[in-house]
Amino acid sequence: MFESEEQKERAERIVMLLAKLYVLLELSLDTCAVCHKALNHDDECPILLAWTLLTPEQQHDARAAIRALALSIGNDSPITDPLVH
């Protein structure tokens, strides 16, 4: 599928960035910039597709990374997580 290891790594980085965008949208409750829907993305939305490509552990890591970033930049307001864990 990929011609080189570099292309594979690039695709993996893109998927992870889109997945982190999914988490940001999930936490902010804003509409998706791609499919323009809130919380429930369009079935063809690349952001949702990237999220579904991650394993549960990768999804957990993405959520943790975004929350850590929010705390590190001083966003100390409580985060409302719409998902039940």
In a domain, 43, yes or no: yes
Per-residue pLDDT at 56: 93
The model's pLDDT over 31-42, given as tens digits with 9 standing for 90+, comes to 888 888 876 788
In a domain, 85, yes or no: no
In a domain, 83, yes or no: no
The model's pLDDT over 10-31, given as tens digits with 9 standing for 90+, comes to 888 888 888 888 888 877 777 8
Q: How far is CA 9 from CA 1, 20, 77, 82, in A?
A: 12, 17, 35, 31
The mean pLDDT of 45-72, rounded to a whole number, is 86
**Chain mean pLDDT for the chain:** 78
In a domain, 77, yes or no: no
Domain count, the chain: 1
Per-residue pLDDT at 57: 93
In a domain, 10, yes or no: yes
In a domain, 84, yes or no: no
Per-residue pLDDT at 37: 81
R_g of the chain, CA atoms, integer Å: 14
Per-residue pLDDT at 4: 86
Range(s) of the domain holding residue 66: 5-72
- Answer yes or no: is pLDDT of 1 > 80: no
* Rounded-to-integer distance, Cα 79 and Cα 82, Å: 9
